[in-house]
Amino acid sequence: MSIVRRYTGWERLTWRHPEWWSVALSAAAWLLLAVMTDSPGGGQATPLHHHHGQSVTAPGRGIGTAWVTPAAGWLLMIAAMMVPMVLGSVRATAARSMWRRRSRAIAGFLLGYVGMWFIAGLLILALLDALELDKRFSSPALAAAGFAAAAAWQLTPVKRRALWSCHRTAPLAPRGWKADGDCIRYGWTIGGRCVVSCWALMLACLLAGHGLVPMGIVAVTGAGERYLKRPTPRGYALFLAGFALVYATFALG
């Protein structure tokens, strides 16, 4: 019985790491966001501050077109920051699928996962828009509040349980539409747990103006607690609280 195969470099990449194109997708989203960013600390054209403080539902604007930019920006943020959080689930989806369906299965998973985040994001954006926070408070003050909330959320049992449940695997049907449906449902379910786990982080990112710096903070926190051994909620809470303090200093200064 042979247990050894000599794979080519391409086979090693694509066969052993079926998540490779999810990584590429995320990298492309980061690149696009970097290009679009006005300044590292914030002020990007998407999604909350899409028109430099104007509400997405500002009078006189067609709501259909007004939402295009923030929605697209939100999608980019999900692709950049949230897809890397579920590479383990992406791998599990591929490994539990028939060989020729692996990429299709991953696409189904991502559809469900991104779909959940997209809807959650639109709700958050609508809430922020209704509250008109960006008109009432300065950007650093909002960022400080966002990161303080994210730090507090880290310490809750609900957050901790949601984080662990993000690692849960699920059985998938092997063939046909049922297989597609199972992949989408699995992505949707993981997305829901991920929203519970990371909503505060993403909210902080939005409130901070979603520049590369707050996005980097959020990405490092999210990936760290997901992939590094034995995540310590208190450590991440302190990390986030530190940034809340920095933004608060800016707000007061």
Q: Which is nearer to another protein, 2 or 65 (CB)?
A: 2
Total number of residues binding another protein (CB under 8 A)? Answer: 36
SS3 42: strand
Please pick, from the candidates 60, 65, 230, 253, the single residue that binds another protein as defined by CB under 8 A.
230
Residue 44 burial (CB count, 10 A)? 25
Judged by beta carbon, residue 11 or residue 132, the one nearer another protein is: 11
User: In sequence order, which residues have a C-beta less than 8 Å from that of residue 211 and are 6 or more positions away?
Assistant: 37, 38, 39, 40, 41, 42, 43, 44
8-state DSSP, 86: G
Among 31, 169, 238, 242, binds another protein (CB under 8 A): 169
Contact between 173 and another protein by CB under 8 A: the answer reads yes
Q: Which of 93, 89, 99, 203 is nearest to 146 (CA)?
A: 203
Residues 146-165 touching another protein, rule: CB under 8 A, are: 160-161, 164-165
| Identified binder of another protein from the candidate list 24, 28, 58, 95, rule CB under 8 A | 95
Tell me how far apart the alpha carbons of residues 174 and 172 are, in angstroms, rounded to a whole number.
6
**5-13, 23-31, 62-70, 136-144 -> range binding another protein (CB under 8 A):** 5-13
Interface with another protein, residue 1, by CB under 8 A: yes
Q: What does the block give as tokens for 77?
A: 């943020």
Nearer to another protein, 51 or 167 (CB): 167
CA separation for the pair 9, 174 (Å, rounded) = 28
Structure tokens at 132: 């008109």
Note the residues at the interface with another protein (CB under 8 A). 1-7, 11-12, 15-16, 91-92, 95-100, 160-161, 164-174, 178, 228-230
